[in-house]
Amino acid sequence: MKKLALLFVSCIFFFSNYVQSQTPAYQNTSLSTEERVNDLVSRLTLEEKVNQMLNSTPGIPRLGIPPYDWWNECLHGVARTKYHTTSYPQAIGMAATFDVDAMKKMGNFTSDEGRAIHNESLRKKDYSRYTGLTYWTPNINIFRDPRWGRGQETYGEDPFLTSMIGTAFVKGLQGNDPKYLKAAACAKHYAIHSGPEPSRHVFDVQVTNQDLWATYLPAFRQLVVNAKVAGVMCAYNAYAGQPCCGSDKLMVDILRNKWNFKGYVTSDCGAIDDFYQTHKLFPDAESSSTDAVLHGTDVECGNHTYTTLIQAVKDGKLTEKDLDVSLKRLFTIRFRLGMFDPPSMVKYAQIPITNLESQPHKDLALKMARESIVLLRNMPVGGQKNNLLPLDKNIKKIAVIGPNADNANTQLGNYNGQPSVVTTVLQGIKNKLKNTQIFYSGATDFVSTEPQDFSKLIDSVKDADVVIYVGGISPRLEGEEMKISQPGFSGGDRTSIGLPTVQTDFLKALKATGKPVVFVMMTGSAIAIPWEEENIPGIINAWYGGEAAGTAVADILFGDYSPSGKLPVTFYKSDSDLPPFDDYSMKNRTYRYFKGEALYPFGFGLSYTRFTFSNLHLSKTKIKKNETINAEATVTNSGKVASDEVVQLYLTHLPGGKNIPLYSLKGFKRITLAAGASQKVKFTITPDMMKLVNEQGESVLNPGNIKISIGESLPSKRSTELGAAEPAEAVLTIH
């Protein structure tokens, strides 16, 4: 009997080895990813190789490779899918939270929903666009100019904030499994890309090495080197005479060699066509596609120009081995996503479709919407002692008016999904005030040059106790290369940063009634509102706040949440503050280099309580160049309301000088303090944080003095004029 058992075991062993020997290496899950990828690529014909380098790849039935479309979006929740998904605030609003923990959780929840859709789509054999796991997000371009319509997709104007928020998102989205990616993020648009939209296919950016390394590249370096982002998207524009997708410096010297990037690169959609059609740097599609591949652009979004690679190989312009370099990167990503393994091996393959819009996801959307809202102004009215906001819930009649008061489309921004329920400001107020008479009117459009007669509408609000005007602009006016031309807007960009005149005129008419007026502004960018700042007692900026924006606004208006959002961009006073839009020099741009007085500074945002900052202590006040120090300050909620606060750390090099930033954000922490409570907040300041970028693009640490400021806003005179607390400050000397 023992002999029979031994014989049986031996047969099983030999049969298993036989089966394994007959299994193609790329299907053998016991082999390394590299071995499997190399085997799979070796089995492809030339035509099959080229077709796998298009964003919409056909299946290869003989090898068991299903179709796959690389193009998917999840800027602030899974976008453009046929399913209802959770919609978080637009990216610029999420940046205003200064909340890396919430951002990481948002990335995690988003990839949960993305996996759920992917798993359900595979079950239905649906391989269409927006079902894959390669998301072309985040947009980490620097929002250098408020006129850029796509600035709403970014995390603002500061390289450090962009790096930290972007890192949190990537880590949340991609997961922490040692073998499998939950989803694949993609840092875009590499590099030096921020409008103008109408000329993005033709302009050739010329920037100094100092601006390149101090402003335009830090966030990309952070995501590639430290966050290990899976993908990078190269931009439409040219840089220093070469298309970004074919740039020696950007694509080869920096991305692949200096940063050792091993992931995949996709072109922006149609960007390879631009090589010869708009940049006119190549004679035809074949030479353009050859150049892009040899510079490391692995996928063409567009499915047109790369088809000429078949002929390019036959013509000897590049070899199949050159294609193999890209193909191995592409299939490595797909293998890391578990696409060639049994679902039982991939824990993320078990996420069900019922995960979509789950309660924790909706709760986070509301939390982030609340945290994103920035209180810009809050003053007493009519001789009252207290500030106008928050409003009394026992109010008898309220007028809620304006083009964004009941506008779900505005709240969802662009690159958005479609949630089952979107709560507008009007609905949010109705949900909160069950016994209040509410008058509603759209009142004005966004932009109008025709003379307006507001008299009838003004008569309708004269008996209201308070008027809430919900205006601003719309993602239907600002966005990506849009066919729109209205006063103040062109091609997706803005020609003026001023609030459209019709809205200011209407606010003037409302103020003339003598009624208290609150201005709720929705926007994806900075708006100049100098008259409103002088005349409207309550102003909040609500961005494009996602599905829960209306609830969040109502919570803040009526005091159920103390505002804690901070501006991730500078709000300038007028168009005259801005350099030419197409000038990519950072001179006099953003809070780091702007020498004028802002309307609302970077990092600014009021609360319903007061915070004080004191007792800044440095672990050392004199250090050598290679030393790290700790900076600790006491933050006290000296008011009567519990609230979050974003504690911000800025460094200022003294005495300053040419091309040296006026201020640099180097740390931030969101904390919660009860009324009367205090907390010590500590930051670690490393030598890298104290370095400056010189004219050669090198990061250097020079001897001298650095002022260290810890506070609730940019440490400027303007911030304190607007009501921000004085920062705690100290000086560090470097020998």
Residue ranges covered by each domain of the chain: 611-734
Active site residue 268: yes
- pLDDT value at position 16? 44
Q: Is the separation of the CB atoms in 734 and 704 below 8 Å?
A: yes
Catalytic residue, candidates 157, 158, 197, 268: 268
Phi, psi angle pair for 150, to nearest 5°: -90, 5
Q: Give the DSSP letter string of 520-566.
A: EEE-SS--B-HHHHHH-SEEEE--S--TTHHHHHHHHHTTSS-----
What is the rounded distance in angstroms from the CA atom of residue 160 to the CA atom of residue 686?
A: 14
- pLDDT value at position 8? 45
What is the rounded distance in angstroms from the CA atom of residue 406 to the CA atom of residue 442?
A: 8
Q: 235: alpha, beta or left, given left = phi > 0 and alpha = psi -120 to 50?
A: beta
- pLDDT value at position 19? 44
Q: For 672-710, what is each residue's pLDDT tens digit?
A: 999 999 999 999 999 999 999 999 999 999 999 999 999
Beta strands at 538-541 and 517-522: parallel, antiparallel or unpaired: parallel
- pLDDT value at position 298? 98
Phi, psi angle pair for 319, to nearest 5°: -115, 170
pTM of the prediction?
0.96
- pLDDT value at position 694? 95
Which amino acid makes up residue 599?
L
Active site residue 445: no
- pLDDT value at position 21? 56
pLDDT < 50 regions, the chain = 1, 4-20
What is the rounded distance in angstroms from the CA atom of residue 670 to the CA atom of residue 104?
A: 14
Q: Is the separation of the CB atoms in 189 and 140 below 8 Å?
A: no
CATH H-level, domain 611-734: superfamily = Immunoglobulins (2.60.40.10)
Q: Which of 123, 133, 118 is nearest to 70 (CA)?
A: 133
Beta strands at 489-490 and 493-494: parallel, antiparallel or unpaired: antiparallel
CA distances from 29 to 178, 347, 638 (A): 15, 15, 60
**Ordered strands of the 622-623 beta sheet:** 622-623, 728-734, 704-711, 643-654, 664-673
Unique residue bearing structure tokens 């400001």? 425
E-only strand ranges, 139-286:
186-190, 204-205, 231-234, 238-239, 242-243, 264-267
Q: Residue 151: helix, strand or coil by DSSP?
A: helix
Catalytic residue, candidates 273, 478, 644, 712: 478
Unique residue bearing structure tokens 């109010």? 395
- pLDDT value at position 10? 45
Q: Is the separation of the CB atoms in 602 and 591 below 8 Å?
A: yes
